[in-house]
């Protein structure tokens, strides 16, 4: 946010945010924030990732905004992912955030186990369920055998009550931050 605030043309650029925390920070530095009615035209999405595999599939949603992130990415002309070198791995191994409707919690715990997962309700420090800005809850679900991430995403999204899955498969360019402060720019397929 601070770097964007220093751009000389920042007043001519409109920004959409996926969380109230980012929105507050953007407002503090004077960026022009627009609401979700502008989603029909998104030039570029800048985001991070929790994990990126060797085929550039990603796990995202550690911050709980996966549904909004997925909507913006689907509407974007270009997706840029910024991540440090530790986020790049051979295979995805982290639990996959799955945003669900709270009404479906019990049945989804069972269904995700049947699908080979080990779901765990995301909680806040005091042990209460972590509630997304959309009013939903997240089941962080580990899979001993994930298989094809694209197929797994489709499989999970067909379960009633699943609203979004933290498997992402679309980005145009990745900036891999190295320990020495430099970046490697990766453009899959080029």
Q: State mean pLDDT over 12-31.
A: 89
Helices and strands in the chain: count of H runs, count of E runs: 5, 13
Domains observed in the chain: 2-90+169-178 (3.40.50.1360), 96-166 (3.30.70.260)
Segment 69-100, tens digit of pLDDT: 999 999 999 999 999 999 999 999 999 999 99
**Count of other CB atoms within 10 angstroms of residue 154:** 12
Residues 25 and 38: their CA atoms lie apart, in Å, by 20
pTM assigned to the model: 0.90
pLDDT of residue 141: 98
Active-site annotation holder among 3, 14, 69, 155 = 69
Segment 128-169, tens digit of pLDDT: 999 999 999 999 999 988 889 999 999 999 999 999 999 999
- For the question of residue 164 being annotated catalytic, the response is no
DSSP string of 102-162, one letter each residue:
GGGHHHHHHHHHHTTEEEEE-B-TTSPBPB-TTS-EEEEEEES----HHHHHHHHHTSTTE
The values of phi and psi at residue 169, to 5°, are -130, 10
89 contacts: CB under 8 Å, gap ≥ 6: 51, 52, 53, 54
pLDDT category of residue 11 using cuts at 50, 70 and 90:
confident
């Amino acid at each position: 946010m601070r770097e964007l605030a220093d751009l000389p043309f920042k007043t001519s650029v409109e920004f959409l945010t996926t969380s109230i925390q980012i929105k507050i920070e953007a407002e503090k530095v004077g960026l022009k924030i627009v609401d979700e009615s502008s989603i029909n035209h998104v030039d570029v999405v800048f985001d991070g990732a929790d994990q990126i595999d060797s085929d550039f599939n990603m796990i995202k949603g550690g911050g709980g905004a996966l549904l909004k992130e997925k909507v913006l990415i689907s509407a974007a002309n270009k997706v840029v992912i910024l991540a440090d070198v530790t986020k790049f791995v051979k295979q995805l191994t982290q639990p996959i955030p799955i945003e669900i409707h709270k009404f479906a919690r019990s049945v989804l715990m069972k269904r995700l186990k049947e699908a080979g997962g080990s779901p765990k309700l995301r909680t806040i420090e005091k042990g209460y369920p972590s509630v997304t800005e959309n009013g939903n809850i997240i089941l962080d679900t580990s899979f001993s055998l994930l298989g094809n991430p694209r197929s797994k995403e489709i499989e999970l999204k067909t379960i009633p009550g699943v609203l979004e899955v933290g498997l992402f498969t679309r980005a145009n360019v990745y900036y891999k931050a190295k320990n020495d402060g430099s970046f490697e720019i990766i453009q899959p397929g080029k």
